[in-house]
Amino acid sequence: MRWALVKVCLAVTAMVVVAFAVPLGLVVQEMASDRAFSNAERQAATIGPTLSITTDPVQLRKAVESTQMGAARRMAVHVPAIGDSPRVSIGEGRAGERAVAETRRMGRATTASVSAGGSALLQPTALGSGDIAVVEIFVPESEVSNGVATAWLVLAGVGLALIVGSVGVADRLGARLVRPAERLADAAHQLGEGRLGARVPEDGPKELRSAAVAFNAMADQVVELLANERELAADLSHRLRTPLTVLRLNTASLGDGPAAEQTRAAVEQLEREVDTIIRTAREQRPATGLVGAGAGCDASEVIRDRMAFWSALAEDEGREVRLAGVDRTVRIPVARPELAAALDAMLGNVFRHTPEGTPFAVDVHDAGDAVIVLVSDAGPGIADPDAALRRGNDGGRDGSTGLGLDIVRRVAESTGGDVRLGRSVLGGTEVRVWIGLDGRSLGGPGAGRTGRGRRGNRRNRGRASQA
């Protein structure tokens, strides 16, 4: 906007300067020409009294040489033949006989262009005998244009100064208009990045003040809505504690055995998750995302732990389980609870949406600047993978909320990675999770879709496909 205002002002001022400077320059040129020929007419009039008294060539020559123009050899007098006296021309004539005769016939002053680089003023003068003599004054081109170049330079300098001054004024005015708009845009970016305290000073032009007021009101409303949602999430999660207490008491009466221990462990984990939800909602902190530099967890250790939890259920349902790539440490910039939640979401989908006895596998690949986690099964597969990745979409499977894969996606994208669904080598669904290791992303949905992390993912895909 600022540069646009400067360009508009520059164009308008340039047009005004041209509209005034060009005609004024032409007027100056015309005035210089009029001044030169007016001076020539005055010089021609100085010889008039002498011509009215005598036409003697000797006297006329003396009179011509005594004038300024005559001394400069720029005056000539053409006397016609009078009686027995022949025609007389005194001085250096440049106009030619035809121009002199035409002036004598017309009886008024004329000008004629000459080859000597200028013009000749021909002034008719009446003699005592009634005949017409012609006084010729040579006007050089330098005298006609005397001072014109200087005047044009002055006009050009004034015009340039006006243009520069108008650009400076437009730039200052544009800055006053643009600065509030920039503050509004910066506050919008801050609000989009999650800094809910961003507000805009309500100053500047009337329209921008109205926009600032509307933005601040919107930001206040967003903060209020988020606070209400956090309170609602905390309250709803707190209501789960009553049935969880009943479940925990009931598990105590199950006795011993793998199923009883597994049930008790599941209830304890559920209690921890509910407590985490309540605490996160109260503290107004994000529940997922990257942790500090150098922190995170060992993906292999977390996968081994979660597979130990799910292996008992897999054994009960007669599922064959294959685990690969977890025999060495693989550090990733994701908190342990978040990775565990993502794994539970993927493995829970396998148990929920494939028949009993369906085998599945979990593979971990270290691709240098990314870690790929593959969860594949031999089930019926997913008809519409893109729909399954959309938050809240059940992907065409009965009884699914569609939030499990969204948890996986947010964990991956918080590191600059992503999630892909496809056909596995077992014949069913393959969930491929790319977890970036370069730490460029700061977390949040969609964070890994741009920048170097995204380009690194494309390189890693090539490596993984070879693996």
Highest mean pLDDT among 46-55, 180-189, 297-306: 297-306
Q: Which two tokens stand for residue 384?
A: 């519409």
Asked whether residue 279 carries a pLDDT value surpassing 70, the answer given is no
- The edge-to-edge listing of strands for the beta sheet with 429-436 is 321-324, 360-366, 370-377, 429-436, 418-423
* Confidence at residue 127, expressed as pLDDT on a 0 to 100 scale: 84
- pLDDT tens for 186-245 read 888 888 887 888 888 887 778 888 888 998 899 888 888 887 777 777 666 666 766 776
Please report whether residue 246 resides in a domain: no
CA dihedral sign, ordered 173, 174, 177, 182: negative
- Separation between Cα atoms, residue 104 and residue 132, nearest integer Å: 6
Q: Which two tokens stand for residue 180?
A: 């509030």
* Confidence at residue 84, expressed as pLDDT on a 0 to 100 scale: 73
CATH number of 382's domain = 3.30.565.10
Contact 364, 317 (CB under 8 A): no
Query: What is 273-288 written as a DSSP string?
Result: HHHHHHHHHHHT--SS
- Separation between Cα atoms, residue 308 and residue 297, nearest integer Å: 18
> How many folded domains does the chain comprise?
2
More confident residue, 58 or 406: 58
Domain boundary among 112, 139, 166: 139
* Confidence at residue 431, expressed as pLDDT on a 0 to 100 scale: 92
Asked whether residue 441 carries a pLDDT value surpassing 80, the answer given is no
* Confidence at residue 454, expressed as pLDDT on a 0 to 100 scale: 38
**What is the average per-residue pLDDT within 357-363?**
93
Highest mean pLDDT among 80-89, 255-264, 421-430, 452-461: 421-430
Segment among 8-17, 122-131, 184-193, 383-392 with least mean pLDDT: 383-392
Contact 213, 202 (CB under 8 A): yes
Phi, psi at residue 438, to the nearest 5°?
-80, -15
Q: What is the pTM of this model?
A: 0.42
Please report whether residue 203 resides in a domain: no
Q: Domain range spanning residue 104?
A: 49-139
Please report whether residue 312 resides in a domain: yes
CA distances from 187 to 179, 183, 445 (A): 12, 6, 20
* Confidence at residue 290, expressed as pLDDT on a 0 to 100 scale: 43
Domain boundary among 91, 119, 139: 139
* Confidence at residue 460, expressed as pLDDT on a 0 to 100 scale: 39
Strand-pairing partners, residue 430, are 376, 422
* Confidence at residue 288, expressed as pLDDT on a 0 to 100 scale: 41
Please report whether residue 202 resides in a domain: no
Band (pLDDT 50/70/90 cuts) for residue 465 is very low
CATH number of 101's domain = 3.30.450
- Rounded mean pLDDT of the chain? 79
Q: Which two tokens stand for residue 218?
A: 């919107």
One-letter amino acid at 254 equals L
- Separation between Cα atoms, residue 134 and residue 137, nearest integer Å: 10
- Separation between Cα atoms, residue 82 and residue 87, nearest integer Å: 7
Domain boundary among 139, 168, 199: 139
Q: Provide the H-helix boundaries in 48-147.
A: 48-53, 57-65, 68-71, 97-106, 141-144
Please report whether residue 329 resides in a domain: yes
- pLDDT tens for 6-43 read 788 888 888 888 888 888 888 888 898 888 888 888 88
Contact 397, 389 (CB under 8 A): no
- 448's enclosing H/E stretch is none
Please report whether residue 406 resides in a domain: yes
Q: Provide the H-helix boundaries in 54-202.
A: 57-65, 68-71, 97-106, 141-144, 148-192
More confident residue, 5 or 126: 126
Contact 353, 388 (CB under 8 A): no
Please report whether residue 180 resides in a domain: no
Please report whether residue 122 resides in a domain: yes
- pLDDT tens for 320-336 read 999 999 998 889 998 88
One-letter amino acid at 244 equals L
Band (pLDDT 50/70/90 cuts) for residue 377 is very high
